Chain A
Amino acid sequence: MAIKLRIPTPLRQLSGGAAELAVEGRTVGEALAALEREHPGFHERLYDETGQLRRFVNIYVAGEDIRFLQGLETPLADGQEVSIVPAVAGGSPRAV
């Protein structure tokens, strides 16, 4: 699936300044793995040493926090938007 990944300002130094990146992935986990392959450095910012998504990073698919969907297994539709949003001051898609 062709996915639009929205990159928050504090992580844009890793995406070469891009606010949005196109990646391939059938699930959120696959999309984030693709992100790391194309722009190394994201993985350690998004995941802790145990391989869990960091507590203060939220991932939204269609406005829903993936923690209340299927987590990293959340399936993605073609052309869907996935937002990475640091959980600062009540992080939500509108915060970016």
Chain B
Amino acid sequence: MTITTARETPAHPAGNAESRLVGLRCRECGRRFPIEPVHVCDFCFGPLEVEYDYEVLRRTVTRESIARGPLSIWRYRDLLPVESLADTGWRVGYTPLQPAPNLGRALGLKDLWIKNDSVNPTFSFKDRVVAVASAKAREFGFDTFACASTGNLASAVAAAGVRVGLKTYVFLPWDTEPSKILNALVYGANVIAVKGTYDDVNRLCSEIADQCHWAFCNINVRPYYSEGSKTLAFETAEQLGWEAPDHVVVPIASGSLLTKIAKGFGELQQIGLIAEKPVRISGAQATGCGPVAEAFERGWDAIKPVQHPDTIAKSLAIGNPADGYYVLKLVRERGGAVRAATNDEIAQGMHLLAATEGVFAETAGGVTVAVLKKLVEEGIVRSDERVVAYITGNGLKTIDAVAPVLVPPPLVEPSLEAFEALLAGRAAEHRLEL
């Protein structure tokens, strides 16, 4: 397998004084590289991250300048690595941050909020990261936009391709929910089902990325793509009146979302838009694929990959999470925890969120609610903290998963008598239960 890695720029160029994008920087060894479609340091194989000039941003970005922006992620464009916007008519992000008093009461929390990303254009938070990646892909001059996906990313990529005029190729594990496969096909993407796990798909895509010169979200444009997740933190702070919450709970697949939410709150503090505050961060996984939860609980520094993920939370079924180490470090530093939920707990979590707050989340949302419940029970999330739980996708994407905890409806003859008998029967049952 060839690996396309960045060549280090011998000396960091001074650049335009007002240029907010410095370049790419290795998270491990610190080497710097120019803004190019590469994601791995050629010296130490560490991941590359976009570096901004925070002095410039401190001078140019204000709460007012953000408030003048569109009701989408692009109000934060100065904090995103995109120079030109392809499609501002596509309303991505700026999703509801809703107070969740009923769910809070059920879990024992006084100040719980739900960030509801189930309502994005393709019904998951992936629209955010894909909006950034597709804009960057166009800037780099690619004609094809691609991804390895557990489902949500595939439909986000497929739709974005339509919106910005890029051909799309999406690669999914063969056992992805059929609705997610259709959800990508309907936009006209080239959908490829791979006989393997997500990790096999990802590995294959690395090889294809080298060969075909396509923009792969999670490969060669990953440093730009992942920045889109910071907008979840930006919006949370803005919607709370320019203030960070006390504790956030984030589902973990690759770990990128959690680390970028932390980065987002950190950047707002760094450029003076919100007060300094070390936001506590906890992570949620599924027991059938919980390598980060396991490493956290065992006090490991390294992640032991899960070879055969087995969970209804397929969107979190990444056996070898690329950002796993950084998640462990962050969660430990901030005094949070990573826990995992079983299939039954996940379905119960989906049902509880819908029945208390009217939000129907996919399995990842059920994971987040179920783990939040455990964290409260353990005292890791305190009852008086301001808590934000990130709901990353819509329940219609994984509708079958909630069936086991729902009672099928009764069948009645089409007569008033039959219905009244049913109601009477229910009233009698209720009296018996009291």
Contact = CB atoms under 8 A, between A and B. Distances in A.
Contact of B45 (A54, A90, A94, A96): A54
A96 B1 contact: yes
Interface in A28-56: 45, 48, 54-56
A89 B41 CA distance: 13
Interface string B11-39: 00000000000000000110000000000
Given A54-B28, A68-B304, A94 B44 contact: no
Among the interface residues A55, A90, A96, which one has the most CB atoms of the partner chain B within 10 A?
A: A90
B362 interface: no
A51 to B, nearest CB: 14
B203 A94 contact: yes
B177 interface: no
B206 A56 contact: no
A55 B46 contact: yes
A92 B205 CA distance: 15
Q: Secondary structure of the A side of the interface? A: loop
Contacts of A88: 3, 40, 45, 206
Contacts of B302: 65, 67-68
Contacts of A94: 203
Contacts of A90: 199, 202-203, 305, 319-320, 322
A95 B1 contact: yes
Interface residues of B, number: 27
Given A10-B5, A45-B43, A86-B3, A55 B322 contact: no
Contacts of A9: 1-3
Interface-centre pick from B28, B42, B45, B322 (highest chain A CB count, 10 A): B45
A68 B320 CA distance: 14
A44 to B, nearest CB: 8
Contacts of B42: 10
B325 interface: yes
A89 to B, nearest CB: 4
B47 interface: yes
Interface residues of A, number: 22
B203 A55 contact: no
Which residue, A8, A55, A87, has most C-beta atoms of chain B within 10 A? A55
Contacts of B29: 48
Contacts of A10: 3, 5, 42, 45
B327 interface: no
Contacts of B202: 89-90
A56 B42 CA distance: 11
Contacts of B28: 48, 54-56
Contacts of B2: 9
Interface of B is mostly: loop
B153 to A, nearest CB: 15
A85 to B, nearest CB: 9
Q: Which of A54, A86, A89, A96 has the most CB of B within 10 A?
A: A89
Contact of A87 (B43, B45, B219, B304): B45
Given A67-B302, A68-B304, A89 B46 contact: no
Which of A67, A68, A86 gathers most chain B CB within 10 Å? A86
A68 B295 CA distance: 11
Interface in B258-315: 302, 304-305
A81 to B, nearest CB: 17
Interface in A9-38: 9-10
A94 B45 CA distance: 17
A57 B304 contact: no
B46 A54 contact: yes
B308 to A, nearest CB: 13
Interface string A57-96: 1000000010110000000000000000011111110111
A86 B44 CA distance: 8
A45 B29 CA distance: 11
Q: B41, B42, B44, B47 — which one has the most chain A CB atoms within 10 A of its CB?
A: B44
A89 B44 contact: no
Query: Which 9 pairs from chain A and chain B are nearest by CB?
Result: A90-B320, A86-B45, A89-B206, A56-B45, A90-B199, A67-B302, A89-B202, A56-B46, A54-B44
Given A55-B325, A95-B206, 11 more contacts: A8-B3, A9-B2, A10-B45, A54-B44, A54-B46, A56-B41, A56-B47, A89-B202, A90-B319, A91-B320, A96-B1
Interface of A: 8-10, 45, 48, 54-57, 65, 67-68, 86-92, 94-96
13 contacts: A9-B1, A54-B44, A55-B28, A56-B41, A56-B47, A57-B45, A65-B305, A86-B3, A89-B322, A90-B320, A90-B322, A91-B320, A96-B1
